[in-house]
Copies of this chain bind each other. A is one copy, B any other.
Amino acid sequence: MMKDVQTLYQHGTLALLVPGLFDGTITTSDLLTHGDTGIGTLAGLDGEVVIINGQAFQAAADGTVNAVTDEMTMPFASVHTFDSQLPTTPVAAMTMMAFTAWLKQFAGLKNAFAGIVLTGTFNHVHVRVAPKQVKPYPPLTTATASQPEFTRNDVTGTVIGYFAPELYAGVTVGDFHLHFISDDRQFAGHLLDFAITTGEVVTQVLPNLLLHLPTDNADFMHADIDLQGLNESINQAER
């Protein structure tokens, strides 16, 4: 079967995290049938997930990186199948802010979804990791009010994530949402900043969004999602 390299598969929404719906509603094994590359979080908002080459890793709030096993579940995750046929583009020394601004221009990222895979050598990487919550779950802003941050200098690794048009803010993170994992699989998290020395990026425009909602989860079906406060909460939590 030809692999589908055109589709961003997303389970859950960012919006459902806002009122604290952190139940895991998809297994990792199910998620991995929809792609080999991506990002997410585990049930209970337990850390930051990076999926690379079909393997899922969790950056935990204690600073460790752990393998994610097939039966572990996630409330929110995005994956796609990496298209190895796409050209790579060299990336010069720059900060994360300069990189995202440049890539938007270079790859014409505006109204469509795109998967981003950036490999390279980094002077500096700065991540944060969501801390695991216990039931009854608090709202996202409470859960993420205090998040451990970690830095690493002189590290080789991969940035994995997505560009989404602002139209989908709330459904997912608008603009860029990027995670990092080091080549030695010892350092990972949700990217706050980096300074790359040299690298290469693959930008995979994804014409399809396949969004799967946990309609068999009663909490999800009945939740009140405050759209007014939504973007405010997201900006606070996902900075």
Query: B-contacting residues of A (Cβ < 8 Å)?
Result: 13, 15-16, 108, 110-113, 165-168, 170-171, 205, 207-216, 220-223, 225, 227, 230
- Please tell me if the beta carbons of B168 and A16 are within 8 angstroms of each other in the complex: no
Q: Which B residues touch A113, using CB under 8 A?
A: 213
Q: Which B residues touch A222, using CB under 8 A?
A: 108, 110-111
Q: A167-B171, A222-B110, A223-B111 in contact; A205/B209 too (CB < 8 A)? A: no
CA–CA, A223 to B165, complex, Å? 12
Q: A207's contact among B166, B208, B213, by CB below 8 Å, is which?
A: B213
Q: A222-B108, A223-B111 in contact; A209/B207 too (CB < 8 A)? A: no
Closest to A230 in B: B167
Q: Which B residues touch A230, using CB under 8 A?
A: 167
CA–CA, A18 to B212, complex, Å? 27
Closest to A113 in B: B213
- Please tell me if the beta carbons of A211 and B213 are within 8 angstroms of each other in the complex: no
- Please tell me if the beta carbons of A167 and B15 are within 8 angstroms of each other in the complex: yes
- Please tell me if the beta carbons of B166 and A112 are within 8 angstroms of each other in the complex: no
Closest to A215 in B: B207
CA–CA, A212 to B112, complex, Å? 10
- Please tell me if the beta carbons of A221 and B167 are within 8 angstroms of each other in the complex: no
Closest to A109 in B: B221
Q: A221's contact among B13, B111, B170, B223, by CB below 8 Å, is which?
A: B111
A94 CB, nearest partner CB in chain B, Å: 25
Q: A15-B167, A222-B108 in contact; A205/B211 too (CB < 8 A)? A: no
CA–CA, A50 to B170, complex, Å? 30
Q: A16's contact among B111, B225, B227, by CB below 8 Å, is which?
A: B111
A167 CB, nearest partner CB in chain B, Å: 5
- Please tell me if the beta carbons of B111 and A225 are within 8 angstroms of each other in the complex: yes
Q: Which B residues touch A205, using CB under 8 A?
A: 215
Q: Which B residues touch A166, using CB under 8 A?
A: 227
A26 CB, nearest partner CB in chain B, Å: 11
Q: Which B residues touch A110, using CB under 8 A?
A: 221-223
Q: A212's contact among B16, B171, B207, B216, by CB below 8 Å, is which?
A: B207
CA–CA, A110 to B16, complex, Å? 12
- Please tell me if the beta carbons of B221 and A112 are within 8 angstroms of each other in the complex: yes
- Please tell me if the beta carbons of B168 and A111 are within 8 angstroms of each other in the complex: no
